[in-house]
Amino acid sequence: MAEKVVHKSWIIQYNLHSILGFLLLVFLFVSFYLIGDNSDGASFLANKPTRKNSSPKCDLFSGNWIVDNVSYPLYKEQQCSFMADDFACHKFGRKDSKYHYWRWQPIDCDLPRFNAKGLLEKLKGKRVLFVGDSLNKNQWASMVCLIETSGIPSLKPPIWKGNLITFEVKEYNATIDFYWSPLLVESNCDDPVKHRVRDRIIRIEAIEKHARHWIDADILIFDSFTWWLEAQMTLQWGSFNSSDAIHKKVGMKLRRYEMALRTWSDWLEFQIDQKRTRLFFMSLSSSHKNATDWGMGNDQNCYGETEPISRKEHWGSESDIKMMEIAEASVNGLKSKGLNIQYLNITQLSEYRKDGHPSIYKRNWVAPTKEQLSNPRKNSDCVHWCLPGVPDVWNQILYAYIMDSTTELKE
């Protein structure tokens, strides 16, 4: 009888251990599924920045560039079939590749790794639209490459119609679009191909021609700085076809920029659905035309540079703080009126990357002169960025804001 009791007790103990073991396996499986690597190599929890300290908010814009040749680049140039020739530096002869492997590391948190499928789940049935100049197109091209090289099937080449390029992801009923509008308001630079004009004429109070293409977007990403840097521009009141139009040549860069952003912000205030549409304004993208900024000769620029600037808080002479303050004030004004808008200050992190520009390694839309060929620096593009490269980090930051539904990110 005692043996039966012991035997029965052993069976119960055995079954209990089996059940606990099974539950442990289920727990491990679920844990692996939730936090393990997915097909993109990105963690489910990596959609959000992780803080390193007790700071209530995560500042993604303050940090350092560190070499990471394990998880970077996020894609390869040749893998992106939609890569624009303006940014395909290896295709046009750049031999060094270290610029691919620099990872932006914020000081007080970790930047989440870009997860294209996670982003597209968030954007299902939505329209994302980048609006601005060729630097905004640079960021849009980065976003398209990040999405394409993640293995999303059935992607079709972008369709260019007028000022608008549409990139459709049918599987998610989502579009990632770009709209050429370098000054936001109307100008004689609005042709997406033939916009290299000497005398820039701006209809400073006219925006509807462009803005009607933006109104149905769920997420709008704007930029507009570089095209305002001309010493003088002509402001116009009245249509381009009107004989009664009023013209005034203006040299006050800050004043005319402020006027244009007022037209832009007024349109957003009254035309955008505040409950539906998220807005972002990208800060000034740093250029590296003047090598004296990092201690080189005044006849040098980004050409031949292969390392970032290491001096902490370096600030280049071409980055106009007052223009940035005007843009940020415009954004804050819209925010105070209830619009869901963020100013993404990517200037400082871009300032360090003198190595990230195409210089001569891009398609030349205008054939270089003999003088430029004999002196490559005179033909160097130190404004735009090679891909993969710096704009991928801009998009990682944008991704963090889109995916984050809390107030943990610094505003």
Q: Is the pLDDT of residue 195 over 50?
A: yes
Q: Which positions are annotated as active-site residues?
A: 134, 381, 384
Q: What is the DSSP string of 277-341?
A: -EEEEE-PPP----GGGGT--TT--STT--S---STT---TT--HHHHHHHHHHHHHHHHTT-EE
Distance CA 304, CA 306 (A): 6
Residue 315 lies in a domain: yes
Residue 128 lies in a domain: yes
Cβ proximity of 300 and 378 under 8 Å? no
> What CATH number did the domain enclosing 393 receive?
3.40.50.1110
Length of the chain: 411
Distance CA 311, CA 307 (A): 12
The number of domains in the chain is 1
Residue 22 lies in a domain: no
Q: By C-alpha distance, which of 200, 196, 198 is closest to 187?
A: 200
Residue 273 lies in a domain: yes
pLDDT in tens, 20-56: 545 544 444 444 333 333 333 333 334 556 666 545 5
Residue 62 lies in a domain: no
Cβ proximity of 95 and 386 under 8 Å? no
Give backbone dihedrals phi and psi of 138, rounded to 5 degrees, phi first. Answer: -55, -45
> Domain range for residue 329?
91-404
Calculate what percentage of the chain has a pLDDT beyond 90.
69
Residue 49 lies in a domain: no
State the distance between the two ends of the chain, measured CA to CA, in whole angstroms: 74
What confidence score (pLDDT) does residue 26 get?
Answer: 43
What confidence score (pLDDT) does residue 404 get?
Answer: 84
Calculate what percentage of the chain has a pLDDT beyond 70.
83
Residue 397 lies in a domain: yes
Give backbone dihedrals phi and psi of 161, rounded to 5 degrees, phi first. Answer: -135, 105
Cβ proximity of 134 and 86 under 8 Å? yes
Distance CA 100, CA 73 (A): 5
pLDDT in tens, 305-321: 999 999 988 999 999 99
